[in-house]
Structures are given as C-alpha cells and as structure tokens.
Amino acid sequence: MRQHTVGIADLTAGAGDVTLVTIGLGSCVAIALHDRRHRIGALAHVLLPHHALTADTPSAGKAASTAVPAMLTRMQSLGATYDIEARLVGGASMFATLLAPGAISLGARNVQAARAACAAHDIPIVGEAVGGDFGRSVYFDVATGRVHVRTVRGGDVLL
C-alpha cells in the first residue's frame, strides 16, 4: 500500500490502495473526503478557518474555505462523482488557559469553518474526532474510507 503524507496547510488526493497521512494536528483540522463507490479520497491539513486570515496568497489547503473546493476538483479529476462524504479530525484547544473569557479557540473556529465548507458543497459529515486539548494524527485508507485517528492521549479512534 502506498502512503502519501500531507503537510501543514497542504492537501492531496488519491485513488485505490493508498493511505493519506497527516500528523501533528493540534488546533488544525484534517478534512478527509471520500467517494466510496469509486474508492477516491482527499485529505487536507487545514491551518486557518478562512483564507481572508492569511496575509499572503494561501495554498489551497491552508484554510477550510479553499481546501474543500480544491479537494473536490482533485477528486473529480480522478473520477469521483458527487456522492462524497466527510470526516473531520482535530480542532483542539491547545492553549485554552490563554484565551480571554468567552473567546472561541482557533481549533473550535477551524472545526466550525470545516463544517461550513462541507455544508456549502452539500457534503455530509459522517464522522468526527474533534475538540479536546490533545494532538492527533490521521491515517486515511482511501480504498475503505476508514480514518484511523491516533491521539497523544484519549485513545485511538476509528471513523
């Protein structure tokens, strides 16, 4: 089985017997999109909730608002249809004690933005491992659609 690693603020797509991996999610969110019928998937390691928060020209994977459409384009070029589902991982509040009272953490904002980006493209979210205050890594088996989430603490999760 081939493995492709997705870096921070990046994304990739693959088909068939491939595992898409991203490690070190804290407040970042991994968005995994999957077309079960065609065994095509894409994975993004989203850094920010919206591309307007970047001072430079963002890579497509940097923000949820740009990652989802870019992922769909790449998946469609591999033969995916519009029968796509999503899984979200990450969005931890790594430094909750530093937040002002009532403030929403960057992790929570990233999760909200990922949900909104999926909703904007009518993509149902079928699994989530989000929030908390611990890091995660994602191993996405494109052939099966299974997302294995390894956590620093809190146990592993299969979505």
* Rounded (10°) angle between helices 106-120 and 64-77: 40
Q: pLDDT category, 1, cuts 50, 70, 90?
A: confident
Q: What is the pTM of this model?
A: 0.92
Residues marked as catalytic: 28
Cα(149)–Cα(132) distance, integer angstroms: 14
Q: Is the pLDDT of residue 56 over 90?
A: no
Half-sphere exposure of 29 (CA within 13 A, CB side): 35
Domain holding 76: CATH number?
A: 3.30.1330.200
Q: Which of 44-53, 75-84, 132-141 has the lowest mean pLDDT?
A: 44-53
**pLDDT of 48:** 84
Task: Name the residue among 132, 145, 156, 150 with its Cα closest to residue 41.
Answer: 145
User: Is the distance from CB of 13 to CB of 78 less than 8 angstroms?
Assistant: yes
The whole-chain average pLDDT of the chain stands at 89
Structure tokens at 80: 């995916």
Task: Name the residue among 70, 27, 64, 25 with its Cα closest to residue 46.
Answer: 64
Q: Which residue has the tokens 């909750």?
A: 96
**pLDDT of 60:** 81
pLDDT digit string (tens) for 84-142? 999 999 999 866 555 545 556 788 999 999 999 999 999 999 999 999 889 999 999 99
Backbone dihedral region for residue 59 (phi beyond 0: left; psi -120 to 50: alpha; all else: beta)? beta
Domain residues for the domain of 115 are 2-158
Instruction: Give the Cα-Cα-Cα angle 154, 113, 93 (nearest 5 degrees).
Output: 35
In one-letter notation, the amino acid at residue 59 is S
In one-letter notation, the amino acid at residue 113 is A
**pLDDT of 93:** 83
**pLDDT of 58:** 61
**pLDDT of 54:** 59
| Domains: count for the chain | 1
Coil, helix or strand at residue 96: helix
Q: Which residue has the tokens 């797509």?
A: 13
